[in-house]
Structure 1
């Protein structure tokens, strides 16, 4: 038998190279398939973190309570809204045949959602003489804007006339004695003008409509809201059993030292009762599988860190991996803590036997639910961004990344120029148009408006109507300047 000659070394090298490419291709394909499964799990979890009925429930509450609310500018207008739309919304009202619907339980005006506990009305006040008027006029004292340092915490008699009232010994009224945030399980929240504490002077809106109207009329006659009031808050919670959603509602009126009121509101639907359907079972399975993925990613990154040591932190994609792991851990912690808070809240609900029994505040649990949703949103974004890394073998993707890397200095220079233009025109717009247009009423608002103008969203008619001459100059100059700079960016990119 004739001996076969050994393979040529050049042919062996070609075969080795081809085999290595095949192994690398198989590794990339396997990584892509696994990661697409991971993306699918995240998308399912993020989808179940929202409920499609939440928007409809929010719209129902808006239609019930927002009539004339956003037009409130004075204290008298607030009392009209409170004694009208607010109390009408908190009661079941009448049936189609004008018969009273008092026998259907603690339902609100839509006759579907149940009022959880009762609503409260509270105000936050500042101390008298919180500032000094530069021009003393008729002996009036000056009251400043709201801040935690000058918030009023004292106890008074009706009319805010006597500060010698002792809550523990005198048989006074709670509407004029300060209630700590812990007593109503309330927490600080952000308004338009300031961040407000969870305490205040509280009115419990428990009882029928006639009693509540009389109580509000008495408070209005006594001047319960006056020049020292800085915020009026209405808070309540409802539950819709048909869609299994709770909702926390807060209607806020911020009182400026000038006397005007700034209305705003927050309605936060949240699902507290989970794992009651087959889809919830799928959600639970996906959460368990995701936890397994997380353990695998943590093991893989720890192994690479031990292997590469300090070189590990030189790769930007490793930082993204660490970010994904950190956000995942934070989301898991937030989710389980939300379950703990929910169980405690449900125990409180079980002890509440009706509308007049207790006040139940869902602010805390909705806050944790919102934090969890934000973390899941960040996780979806970062995980999707990692797909660019998996597509690195594609020539067009590698060409794009190489182009951005090589022209990074030029892009940085253009970014600085655009930033300088935005800041300068934002300050100009704020100074010229700030007292005329809400979109320019602060530097931040002006900056956001000009960024939107750059992308084609603007209301030039309002600008020209407010300041015909200067408004036209600002708008034309800004649009031409930004168009010139952005055009040069694309011209430079094309030449590069």
Structure 2
């Protein structure tokens, strides 16, 4: 092996150590140099372990930082995509329906028919559609507000003749005929009580209609012709094709729920009146009254017609219903549905169509993203609240398009429609399907904006809300069970006590709604007191004391505790600069495109060439001056990486003179590390500086022995 020259400092220490062997080791023959070597090896091993530990920690931290960076990039990407989707969805489904004329179209017609007063010859007091209580008043309504609105100009210019037959307000065209229909039940003997009749000429025997409860049902429906005139009312209707009633009933969602919570199928015994001839319509209504269109077996009468506005391109389907319950009298209700038909989209403008297509693409992207993730993570991922909300959003949007297709394919052929035809065109089923698509889309609107909270929870200040909801979920679920038990008890008690006297408690559903409004401060204590002087105030006080003062305050306490816990967790969390991260993600994404990468590489190459040329020119200009300055000077002394402690008497033997001693009694002289000239010494020094560890110090005497 080639002979390695020891540094001068080490030689001085060795000579000094050789003269003090017995002193350093207590006379046992062990040299001080050996003690130094042992100390050096121990400290080298400690530094190596420290460097290895720091290197491992550095690698772990690097991996952790890389993963966090990737996670942030993924979240920022999701936020950007979702915000773009939300903007498109809002434009295509919400902004486009802000046209208030969609409301005005049906509202103005309904006001004329349902809120206009009866004619003076029919009633000397103020009476409207909602005030009808007998069949005689129903005929007065049909001959008054209904006839005047549809067949005269009273709704437009106040005249008795309509200058534009078949139109309402001169802009809305009535499509086809106006249809009257009814539902009848069979007569049956009464099974509860039978009383003796002393004189048949005074009182008729008791008679019951419908099922055992007196209501309408498919089994008790009467399809027999009836009437008091020469022409009987047929189940298929007057001037209609056979089988139309049954065909209409065979369509899904063909049943109708009235405003009084009763469900009926499509009516029968149709009577069609033209939309353009007011005199024929008036005669038809009179003929219905004279021939006994309604009687004791009648359970409901329906009036249907359809209006189209070409400027809005919207259709409004009207239905006015008079129900005859088993208790007697009439229950009036009406419904209108305004929708866009004969199109899949809510607008025909190119801009709106483009946005709607973008929304479809976004949902296809969400489906393609969810399917493999559900397959990979399985049930645990599928049962997460955020996943269920996202999947519900997708399912609702799919149903939107299913109902749009159903509405389109059940429409009558537009080429066969004539505005003034004496034919009733069935648009109700299409309007029902289109309305269902709008209902599911409204659910989508809620879910889409509600899911934005999930993405905003990436920012700690917004995570406070979502965290509070999550932490309070278990407590609120337990509270919900207790609340439902207490609330059901109160609803049942109120219905049993006030059901026969107060409209708001007439059944269990109405009682629940009325009590829910009471929680918000809307209640009528006087009405309850008039119904029952003792039970009314008693139930009122109990409900307010338990449901409001106790139960609701428990709910507030549960949410407050969850809020405090979540606030404490987020107190020391660093805020996220979401704007900066979005900006960096967009810039990095743009720079990662092929064209930008190519341009960036060319720019880097030019910049590197300029730097190389500048470096060469600078080194050439400085080389001459450096050579002249260094020619007369001696070589610089070697750089010392540390100091060595020696005693003053030992340092004097080195020939360099004694250095002044320090406070600890040692003289500090420059020394080199043993491996300073070896390979990798520069890296070790860098690691030592990073660790904050001084270079090794060689000690003598008792200090070395103790080490």
The change in CA–CA distance for 1:309 and 1:495 in structure 2 (over 3 A counts) is closer
2:377 is equivalent to residue 312 of structure 1: no
Q: Which residue of 2 aligns with 1:303?
A: 372
Contact 1:240 1:246 in 2 (8 A): yes
2:522 is equivalent to residue 449 of structure 1: no
Q: Equivalences for 1:82-481 in 2 at 5 Å?
A: 82-93=142-153, 96=157, 98=159, 100-102=161-163, 104-108=164-168, 110-129=169-188, 132-136=191-195, 138=197, 139-143=205-209, 144-156=214-226, 158=228, 180-182=245-247, 187-191=254-258, 192-206=260-274, 208-272=277-341, 280-342=349-411, 344-349=412-417, 352=418, 354-395=419-460, 398=463, 401=466, 404-405=469-470, 408-481=473-546
After TM superposition, the structure 1 stretch with the greater mean CA deviation from structure 2, 149-158 or 6-15, is 6-15
TM-score where L is the length of structure 1: 0.86
The partner residue of 1:485 within 551, 557, 561 is: 551
5+ residue gaps, structure 2, are 1-50, 117-127, 198-204, 563-707
- Please tell me the root mean square deviation across aligned C-alpha atoms, in Å: 3.3
* CA offsets 1:291-318 (integer angstroms, 9 cap, x no match): 2112211111121123223443343322
Contact 1:49 1:373 in 2 (8 A): no
Contact 1:178 1:200 in 2 (8 A): no
* CA offsets 1:34-93 (integer angstroms, 9 cap, x no match): 001111222222223564312111211112211211111100000000011111111142
Cα drift, residue 389 of structure 1: 2.7
Contact 1:112 1:240 in 2 (8 A): yes
C-alpha separation between the residues in 2 aligned to 1:122 and 1:466? 38
Q: Which residue of 2 aligns with 1:80?
A: 140
Cα drift, residue 381 of structure 1: 2.0
- Tell me, what secondary structure is at the counterpart of 1:331? helix
Contact 2:300 2:324 in 1 (8 A): yes
TM-score where L is the length of structure 2: 0.62
The partner residue of 2:105 within 57, 70, 75 is: 57
Cα drift, residue 409 of structure 1: 4.3
Cα drift, residue 185 of structure 1: 9.7
* CA offsets 1:413-459 (integer angstroms, 9 cap, x no match): 32222111211111111111112222111111001111121122323
- Tell me, what secondary structure is at the counterpart of 2:300? strand
The change in CA–CA distance for 1:52 and 1:485 in structure 2 (over 3 A counts) is same
Contact 2:238 2:271 in 1 (8 A): no
The change in CA–CA distance for 1:465 and 1:45 in structure 2 (over 3 A counts) is farther
C-alpha separation between the residues in 1 aligned to 2:346 and 2:377? 47
- Tell me, what secondary structure is at the counterpart of 2:191? coil
C-alpha separation between the residues in 1 aligned to 2:295 and 2:141? 17
Q: Aligned pairs, how many?
A: 480
The change in CA–CA distance for 1:313 and 1:184 in structure 2 (over 3 A counts) is closer
Cα drift, residue 282 of structure 1: 2.2
After TM superposition, the structure 1 stretch with the greater mean CA deviation from structure 2, 31-40 or 392-401, is 392-401
The change in CA–CA distance for 1:78 and 1:166 in structure 2 (over 3 A counts) is closer
Q: Which residue of 1 aligns with 2:89?
A: 42
Cα drift, residue 126 of structure 1: 0.4
The change in CA–CA distance for 1:469 and 1:276 in structure 2 (over 3 A counts) is closer
- Tell me, what secondary structure is at the counterpart of 1:235? strand
Contact 1:232 1:254 in 2 (8 A): yes
Cα drift, residue 219 of structure 1: 2.5
Contact 1:125 1:151 in 2 (8 A): yes
Q: Which residue of 1 aligns with 2:64?
A: 17
The change in CA–CA distance for 1:185 and 1:213 in structure 2 (over 3 A counts) is farther
The change in CA–CA distance for 1:82 and 1:130 in structure 2 (over 3 A counts) is farther
C-alpha separation between the residues in 2 aligned to 1:59 and 1:81? 19
- Tell me, what secondary structure is at the counterpart of 2:326? coil
Cα drift, residue 410 of structure 1: 3.4
The change in CA–CA distance for 1:46 and 1:451 in structure 2 (over 3 A counts) is same
C-alpha separation between the residues in 2 aligned to 1:277 and 1:120? 28
C-alpha separation between the residues in 1 aligned to 2:521 and 2:458? 36
- Tell me, what secondary structure is at the counterpart of 1:117? coil
- Tell me, what secondary structure is at the counterpart of 1:224? coil
The change in CA–CA distance for 1:131 and 1:318 in structure 2 (over 3 A counts) is farther
Cα drift, residue 481 of structure 1: 0.7
The partner residue of 1:31 within 61, 74, 78 is: 78
Contact 2:235 2:269 in 1 (8 A): no
Contact 2:324 2:330 in 1 (8 A): yes
